A and B are shown apart, each in its own frame.
Chain A
Amino acid sequence: MKISFQRSVVAGALSLGVIGLIYACTPRATSGNLLTGDAATRVYVAPGSYDEFYAFLSGGYSGQVAVYGLPSGRLLKTIPVFSQFPEDGYGYNEDSKPMLQTTYGFIPWDDSHHPELSMTDGVPDGRWLFINANNTPRIARIDLTRFETDEIIQIPNSAGGHASPFTTPDSKYVVSATRFSVPIPNTDVAIDSYKQNFKGTLSFITADQPGKMDVAFQILMPGYNYDLGHAGKGPSNGWFFFTSYNSEQANTKLEENASQNDKDFIAAVNYKRAEECVAQGKAKATPSEYFHNWVDSGSRTAKSEKKTSVKMISPADCEGVVYYLPTPKSPHGVDVDPTGEYIVAGGKLATVIPVHSFTKLQKAIADKAFDKVIDGIPVLKYDAVMAGEVQKPGLGPLHTEFDGKGYAYTSMFISSEVVKWKLGTWEVVDRVPTYYSIGHLMIPGGDSKKPWGKYMLAMNKITKDRYLPTGPEMAQSAQLFDISGDKMKLLLDFPTIGEPHYAQAIPASLIKDKQVKFFKLTSNTNPWVTKSEAEGGIARTGKRVDIKMIAIRSHFAPDNLEGVQVGDTVVFHVTNIEQDWDILHGFAVLGMNTSELIIQPGETRSLMWIPKNPGVFPFYCTDFCSALHQEMQGYIRVSPAGSNVKLIANISPKAQAQLNTEAQAKQK
């Protein structure tokens, strides 16, 4: 008896020791910095050399687009789109303010989500980049010879333009679908009348004519949340696929109430059929106000027009225009493989990745393999359209891109990884962790007919410990992977601006040689252009004073201005008359309540200033332009209202000489 007690003392001590050892082996988080040996050389772009790809990452809540070089991850440019950008005066100067005009008035901010390159025959062609505004639905077109926003169209009868601006293979249309269903037309109704009164719309916008984007037609849909889309290609050309969730039609606590159904729907839209119905007059002209804003290429100033009507198609009046494909569960992304046969859904709460077959879809339609019909939309049987399911892919599948070699890559938000799987066999062949919680992923051309399947970029939502910490708000992280071999290899980790959602990339060779270097002054049709120093001056029209001025290294002309009075509205029209690459000038005046102007060579920009007090106010060039940049300045005198100081603009000796020469020429 006593002895066994002694033994137990020893046994107890031993077991405590064992527990201590195991305790020391408690797993810690794996540090995600296991790089393959040659990663550094794979992403190193030597000084003076160029990146292989342009990558266009949306700015998310910055409202802009950021352009990076791949594989280096170097930031090349921020393109202002839906948010004012004081760095170059976009949305502040008089020339670009109309770009941000909407039926709700001037909007200084939006949330940009999905960049989409224009395509020819299903392959990115490098002409334009389209991107959507999520909050107040709009689509912008960015010209890729200038990396500038040229056009913005507002989407009427819509709220939350998330499934946008996915592009047809010929760029004839870009699309936009309502994330939030709303009363159409939007009227004052009880929120809990959602099921009766709220509707969704799918909008097709003509996109292949610069300056002429317009809503071609809208399709009125049941009041679900429409989330993402992609066009068919090859055999499925002429079709468009949109995911929807909240088929429960919940109007409160969607987190829970919209997660009840095991399957929601992909809406398969036959847009060629829609075109027929429009041609046959089956679309109803529906009063709808929306703005279309575009930049006039000669004057480089933006113009706005308000449109008043759209053509609205009801699926019940246009048989065969829309079918629903049941899809598990609350699907987010919908991606069409390069062959156009497979339609892959990212069911964010699903335990599989469901893949639909376009061939089976056509057969199911021919066989009328319908479960039911919702508001004129037949719901096809899941088993009749499903090609396969990827089993145990991971947790929280969101988006899929393709490498053109028969593999698909799906981002997994919850398990924070990218899963590579084989089309046709649906087997998972590789997986890599991302840091942390990936949203979209991007392979250059990865949603097109011909992916350049060399790199894959993961865009993550959570950064935490990836970089030197910068307080509670940190840059979002992106990781570049090499996908040229069987196994995905992590190459690079870099911070990004705003919150990139989607991105697109294209070989640099398709864009870099067509870049505009400056604007020809002789082609400048801006009404306020000043083409030579001698043309500068000051003029009063009632309370408005217009000042025409040139900027050239290293002076403004005129640079001394008098006769302005408190109560006047002063507009500086500054023309950069340089005709040389990368010689920009800036303009700012003391106390102005707006941003600077940045004036590219050969263009005219206008800044409005309402002086509040008498005094003398300096202005200067804000873009370091030359050796005597610090001398590039001037003064404007402001006198009290009713003052008799004469309106004068000085003229430089050079301008005087120029005037004299012109006068002599006229005499002869």
Chain B
Amino acid sequence: MSKLSRLLLAIASGLTLLALALPLWRVRLVAPQYPEGLGMEIRANTVRGATEHDLGSINNLNHYIGMKAIEPDEIPDLRVIPWVFAGLALFGAIVAAVGRRPLVIAWLAAFALLGVVGLWDFYRWEYSYGHDLDFQHAIIKVPGMSYQPPLIGSKQLLNFVATSWPASGSFILGAAFLLGVAALVARAPGAAAGTHHLEHAA
């Protein structure tokens, strides 16, 4: 592997660590009486409000529909995810040091797999908050209504429009993955013609 590939991988590992410190996903809630909106940030290790009191406000509103309170300390996944990130970063750093192509492929595969599992996990939690409602204590009960926010995009939930999008941490992770891909395909300039030849063959 070229020096360039190793450098790209090292940067990718660094970015994976950097994503630990950034929000991965944002959920924004806007209602007529909340023109300023309420927001939540999902990070590797916690869920927090867009402002200091947003999460408290969201939980307070959710009690009307019987949704359980979002308590970051009670979501075990948030204690595991930072280690997953750290593990990926460490793995990436080792691959950069060793410089062998099969290891790069293994790193990318692990990265992609963990990404899919992460999104599935996030969806699962959204589903659980939106559907596991305490009807015994719910004040507003609308037959057939559930309150799962979308994974991506906007959705009307009673008087709120919930909008969910990846945030900077996810984009950084995406960039890290792409750098890994780039490390795999990076070649000395002389090898470029062969690539074109193969492309035609494919």
Q: List the interface of chain A (C-beta within 8 A of B).
A: 2-6, 8-9, 12-13, 16, 19, 22-23, 26-29, 31, 255-256, 259, 349, 351, 395, 414-417, 433-437, 462, 464-465
Contacts and interface: CB of A to CB of B under 8 A. Distances in A.
Given A22-B152, A29-B35, A349-B141, 14 more contacts: A3-B195, A5-B185, A8-B181, A12-B181, A16-B174, A26-B165, A256-B137, A351-B142, A351-B143, A395-B158, A436-B35, A462-B33, A465-B35, A465-B36
B131 interface: no
B22 interface: no
Contacts of A462: 33
B32 interface: yes
Contact of A6 (B163, B171, B195): B195
Interface of B: 28, 30-37, 137, 139-143, 152-154, 158-159, 161, 163, 165-166, 171, 174, 177-178, 181-182, 184-185, 195, 198-199, 202
A5 B199 CA distance: 11
A3 B198 contact: yes
B185 A2 contact: yes
Nearest to B32: A416
A395 B202 contact: no
Contacts of A415: 32, 158-159
A16 B171 contact: yes
A27 B174 contact: no
A3 B195 CA distance: 7
18 contacts: A3-B202, A4-B202, A16-B174, A19-B166, A23-B165, A26-B28, A26-B154, A27-B154, A349-B140, A349-B141, A416-B32, A416-B33, A436-B33, A436-B35, A437-B33, A464-B36, A465-B35, A465-B36
Contacts of B161: 27
Contact of A5 (B36, B171, B184): B184
A464 B38 CA distance: 14
Given A433-B32, A437-B32, A26 B163 contact: yes
A435 B142 contact: no
B102 to A, nearest CB: 12
Contacts of B177: 12
Contacts of A22: 152-153, 165
B159 A414 contact: yes
A414 B143 contact: no
A28 B154 CA distance: 11
Contacts of A16: 171, 174
A507 to B, nearest CB: 32
B118 to A, nearest CB: 16
A13 B182 CA distance: 12
Most chain A CB within 10 A, of B32, B37, B152, is at B32
Nearest to A349: B140
Given A13-B178, A16-B174, A435 B165 contact: no
